Structure 1
């Protein structure tokens, strides 16, 4: 196998895995080159491997050169941060499908259990000296219906985890999912009907033009009054005000959020527009559902394997429809 792959990160800490998986491929470590040499070397590549492909990840010269590169693979699963208009029309973009799925699926289960066992409220009460031995209406997940909205790599791994926990798992996608893990598949046109019979709803779909603000007042009120909503996708899929109103009016309705509308990535203070953090039926984490001690290495390996398939033309996964994204 031959080919030339440019990489925007490393080589420290990743070169061993890169060389092992991309054996026979010429690897260009762009960070090791002088800045003025990078665009020319990038332009000669068959593929670029990058972390997120944000605007700041490449210089203007590198972005211009990238328009002539046939393909880009991200290590990240999501690609809504990519400035799509800076990619060439003929440049294929591949997301890292399933790359971060195992830790995220574990996180979904942890969040669902935190809600069903009322752990946030119990912790708050204990800190206030309240020992509510029988007072929380604790629930089981076993034999309940879980609906996974967005049935890609993360969705399928989540289905595997939840089914082993004894849940009946259903999937919903643009096309009706068919999988031995699922008791039923739904399409987006059936969203409200599917939500109305689910006890746990997991959002694992990408943020696109069609999904931005999808979970508004109308959609949220179609869910059961005692349902659990877990969002490990993107915050903007859910309308913040609508979620606050649903949580406030339905104390047995729970939401568990790993993603937020205003995420301070520069060390700033975290805040929400609505007073969500005051609510006892909200569980949160700091957009770190993908983080474990082994996850970065495992995700990189999956991305590298897909790079081989791209260069070899051997059925790569994760091809992105660039025109569906917000920018």
Structure 2
């Protein structure tokens, strides 16, 4: 257990209820300081005395000459699930780093289900037809039951998706880093099994982190392995999927469908939203504005999960969501 002198620094600016959660979970075990409460003259000294850091986006929370003061930090817990935005070269090389794995999984799994059903049931296509006066009652919809859901990235989000899809009668295949799972699946493998995984799946859900190994993972060749009437849902990161290759696949195979929640150019990272191909003119495409985890109470839940992971570290227990900085070099 940590001493009270082992300071915990909250670097982002949480809301009032989130601050209460941080104090409830961590306050009894260590000194908790909110960086935004400090006067400018106090910042460097407090940063230097901190041993645990909770952060959302370091480049927005610290000025350049404050990063060296983080040298004494032993554990860095991100409130975000993904850490592809993290400047690892500016953080202490010896510190343990964890993402907030699974914190947003349940609403994201529902979002995957909603997108899958909307595409499979041709809801947007039929809505547009009705708007144009066409009453198409003959074209068949499809059911999820009996199809196979391939989950590319079987972590917190992937497992939540599997639970939802399994209840609807789908078989589950999955890829993770170990190629092992205790869950009931039709197939489990690693990225080395990507081709047979893509060839067998009717619905492919991308839910793995963006790393140097997964950037550009799904290009023209990989998409060609998929069934011509498969559905692809991406709730991970846009850069995992080649934008032009996806557009060409959708144009060439009208029965192939895609639902995109995470984009190649987004306001949070790039200052604007932009696509380089006219996806929204395609009837077999559905988009949402990277809002799959945005539901009431989501930040309170994520804050509690991040806090409880810090508590695991303080108690000397294994932490959830540990990441390897080499994957992001």
Match of 1:91 in 2: 95
Alpha-carbon shift at residue 266 of structure 1 (Å): 8.9
Residue 19 of structure 1 aligns to a residue whose secondary structure is helix
Match of 2:41 in 1: 36
**TM-score, normalised with respect to structure 1:** 0.95
User: Is residue 2:8 matched to residue 1:5?
Assistant: yes
Alpha-carbon shift at residue 267 of structure 1 (Å): 11
Residue 17 of structure 2 aligns to a residue whose secondary structure is coil
User: How many matched pairs?
Assistant: 324
Alpha-carbon shift at residue 41 of structure 1 (Å): 0.6
For residues 201-220 of structure 1, the C-alpha deviation after alignment (integer angstroms, 9 at most, x for no partner) is: 00011111111111001000
User: Is residue 2:34 matched to residue 1:66?
Assistant: no
Any gaps of 5 or more consecutive residues in structure 1?
none
- Which whole-Å CA distance do the structure 1 matches of 2:66 and 2:129 have between them? 55
Alpha-carbon shift at residue 83 of structure 1 (Å): 1.0
Residue 16 of structure 2 aligns to a residue whose secondary structure is coil
- Which whole-Å CA distance do the structure 2 matches of 1:222 and 1:114 have between them? 23
The correspondence for 2:86, drawn from 82, 86, 90, is 82
For residues 217-267 of structure 1, the C-alpha deviation after alignment (integer angstroms, 9 at most, x for no partner) is: 100000000101000000000000100111100001111000111112499
- Which whole-Å CA distance do the structure 1 matches of 2:15 and 2:165 have between them? 37
Any gaps of 5 or more consecutive residues in structure 2?
none
The correspondence for 1:250, drawn from 248, 253, 269, is 253
User: Is residue 2:136 matched to residue 1:132?
Assistant: yes
- Which whole-Å CA distance do the structure 2 matches of 1:187 and 1:266 have between them? 29
Deviates more, 1:10-19 or 1:191-200: 10-19
The correspondence for 2:54, drawn from 49, 52, 55, is 49
Match of 2:235 in 1: 232
- Which whole-Å CA distance do the structure 2 matches of 1:19 and 1:268 have between them? 33
User: Is residue 2:122 matched to residue 1:118?
Assistant: yes
For residues 72-124 of structure 1, the C-alpha deviation after alignment (integer angstroms, 9 at most, x for no partner) is: 10110000011111112112211001111111111111111111011111121
- Which whole-Å CA distance do the structure 2 matches of 1:197 and 1:206 have between them? 22
Q: Compared with structure 1, are the counterparts of its residues 174 and 28 closer, same or farther at alpha carbon in structure 2 (3 Å cutoff)?
A: same
The correspondence for 2:190, drawn from 181, 187, 208, is 187
The correspondence for 2:150, drawn from 143, 147, 151, is 147
- Which whole-Å CA distance do the structure 2 matches of 1:76 and 1:148 have between them? 21
Residue 298 of structure 1 aligns to a residue whose secondary structure is helix
The correspondence for 1:168, drawn from 167, 171, 188, is 171
Q: Compared with structure 1, are the counterparts of its residues 216 and 267 closer, same or farther at alpha carbon in structure 2 (3 Å cutoff)?
A: closer
- Which whole-Å CA distance do the structure 2 matches of 1:176 and 1:111 have between them? 27
Deviates more, 1:180-189 or 1:110-119: 180-189
Residue 5 of structure 1 aligns to a residue whose secondary structure is strand
- Which whole-Å CA distance do the structure 1 matches of 2:198 and 2:286 have between them? 20
Question: What is the CA RMSD across the aligned residues, in angstroms?
Answer: 1.6
On the 8 A contact 2:18/2:299 being kept in 1, the answer is: no
Q: Compared with structure 1, are the counterparts of its residues 82 and 192 closer, same or farther at alpha carbon in structure 2 (3 Å cutoff)?
A: same
Match of 2:181 in 1: 178
